[in-house]
Amino acid sequence: MKDRCTAIVLAAGQGQRMKSKVKKQFLSIAGKPIVYYALQCFEKASFINNVILVTSEDCVDYCQKKIVEKYGFRKVEKVVVGGKERYDSVYAGLLACGETDYVYIHDGIRPFITRDILERALDGARETGACVVGMPSKDTVKIVDKEQFVTKTPKRSRMWAVQTPQVFRYSIIRQAHEKARLGRMDGVTDDSMLVEKYGDCKVKMVEGSYENLKITTMEDLFVAEVILRGNEL
């Protein structure tokens, strides 16, 4: 039987670093809200069965009417309320998944995912149970102490900058979140970290793309416009 795959698309953040009036996930690039692009990629991928869109309480109606209905996203099964931190929103998404085999966890503010990336990530998760996408670091990376003095320069060839989607066997990521939630969660910035700590499987790294940027500040928005125009040429 074919595996069931669910995508959790996160759009419950406040976007404080963007400093815009509209929450960044709903700002437009090339006339469409940022979150549209990720949803569209999951919608078009035949191996994705359903999508859970996670947003803040004040944006549920907006997401339902102005995104899901307006653009006809038939795979978006539920729009659910997220939480204060990213990991709370992921957990809300996990609870809403229903029966599924694999779950993609994706930042709704990373619009440039492709079918290839989704496939590579699923293949990786099938191999071990957990897979993240990322790219080798182009910069040399330094570890610094609290006073900002350099303490170490790790070998660059082993440094990868991690992106989303991150794909997991559902039982593995659900259990990792549940175990982590019994303790302190500060400093948890992605889901793989929880599997690294609480899961009993290896996490596979596969290539995402250098275009798969996370729109965090205003400069990223300008870059995103340029990438999108380039892709349309």
Ligand X SMILES: C[C@](O)(CO)[C@H](O)COP(=O)(O)O
Ligand Y SMILES: Nc1ccn([C@@H]2O[C@H](COP(=O)(O)OP(=O)(O)OP(=O)(O)O)[C@@H](O)[C@H]2O)c(=O)n1
Q: Which residue in the set 23, 86, 120, 177 belongs to the binding site for ligand X (CB under 6 A)?
A: 86
One-letter amino acid for residue 117 of the chain: I
Select from ligand X, ligand Y, none the partner in contact with residue 197, using the beta carbon and a kind-dependent cut-off of 5 to 8 Å: none
Does position 16 interact with ligand X (CB under 6 A)? The reply is: no
DSSP-derived 3-state class of residue 200 = coil
Of positions 44, 65, 70, 84, contacts ligand Y by CB under 6 A: 84
Cβ(48)–Cβ(7) below 8 Å: yes
75 binds, among ligand X, ligand Y, none (CB under 5 to 8 A by kind): none
How distant is the alpha carbon of residue 207 from its chain centre?
15
Closest CA to 161 of 114, 115, 110: 110
Q: Which is nearer to ligand X, 106 or 169 (CB)?
A: 106
Phi and psi of 190, rounded to 5°?
-150, 175
Binding mask 196-225 for ligand Y (x = CB under 6 A): ------------------x-x---------
**Contact by Cβ (8 Å): 108, 34:** yes
Spatial distance between the Cα atoms of 52 and 94, rounded to a whole number of angstroms: 9
Which residue stretch of 70-78, 102-110, 175-183, 196-204 sits at the interface with ligand Y (rule: CB under 6 A)? 102-110
Q: Which stretch binds ligand Y (CB under 6 A): 106-114, 116-124, 134-142, 155-163?
A: 106-114
How far from each other are the two terminal CA atoms of the chain, in whole angstroms?
40
Structure tokens at 196: 């690294």
Which residue in 189, 197, 218, 231 binds ligand X (CB under 6 A)?
189
Residue 86 lies near ligand Y (rule: CB under 6 A): yes
Catalog residues that contact ligand Y under the rule CB under 6 A. 10-17, 25, 54, 82-86, 88-89, 107-109, 214, 216
